[in-house]
C-alpha cells in the first residue's frame, strides 16, 4: 500500500490498479503531470511528485512531503502539489 500525500495535508492510502506495480500513467494522473522522484530516508521508499509542480499558476506547498525529503533538498527548496510515497518494489525495482 502507498500513500498519496495531498498538498492540503490530507492522506489517502492507494494501490496500483493491477495490485502490484505502478504504471507511469497512474502516477502521472495522481500528481497531475510528468513525474520526478526523490529519495527518502528509508532506502526502499521513494517520493513521486510533479516534475513542474512549482511552475503551475498557483503552486501549493506540500509541507509533509517537503519535511519527508528535506535532507535531499537544497536550502529553501520545497515540494509543490500532491506527491505519492511508494516502495521501490511497487515501481518494479
- Residue 53 near residue 1, CB atoms below 8 Å: no
Residue 57 has pLDDT above 90, yes or no: no
For residue 85, with 0-12 CB atoms within 10 Å meaning exposed, 13-18 middle and 19 or more buried, which class applies? buried
| pTM for the model | 0.90
Using pLDDT thresholds of 50, 70 and 90, give the confidence band for residue 3: very high
Q: What is the mean pLDDT of residues 39-48?
A: 94
Domain residues of the chain, as ranges? 2-91
Task: Find, among 71, 76, 74, 80, the residue nearest to 53 by Cα.
Answer: 80
Amino acid at each position: 500500500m502507498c500513500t498519496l500525500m495531498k498538498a492540503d495535508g490530507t492522506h489517502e492510502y492507494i494501490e496500483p490498479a493491477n495490485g502490484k506495480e505502478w504504471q507511469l500513467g497512474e502516477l502521472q494522473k495522481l500528481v497531475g503531470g510528468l513525474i520526478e522522484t526523490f529519495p527518502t530516508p528509508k532506502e526502499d521508499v521513494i517520493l513521486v511528485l510533479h516534475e513542474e509542480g512549482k511552475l503551475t499558476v498557483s503552486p501549493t506547498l506540500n509541507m509533509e512531503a517537503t519535511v519527508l525529503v528535506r535532507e535531499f533538498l537544497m536550502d529553501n527548496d520545497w515540494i509543490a502539489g500532491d506527491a505519492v510515497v511508494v516502495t521501490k518494489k511497487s515501481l518494479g525495482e
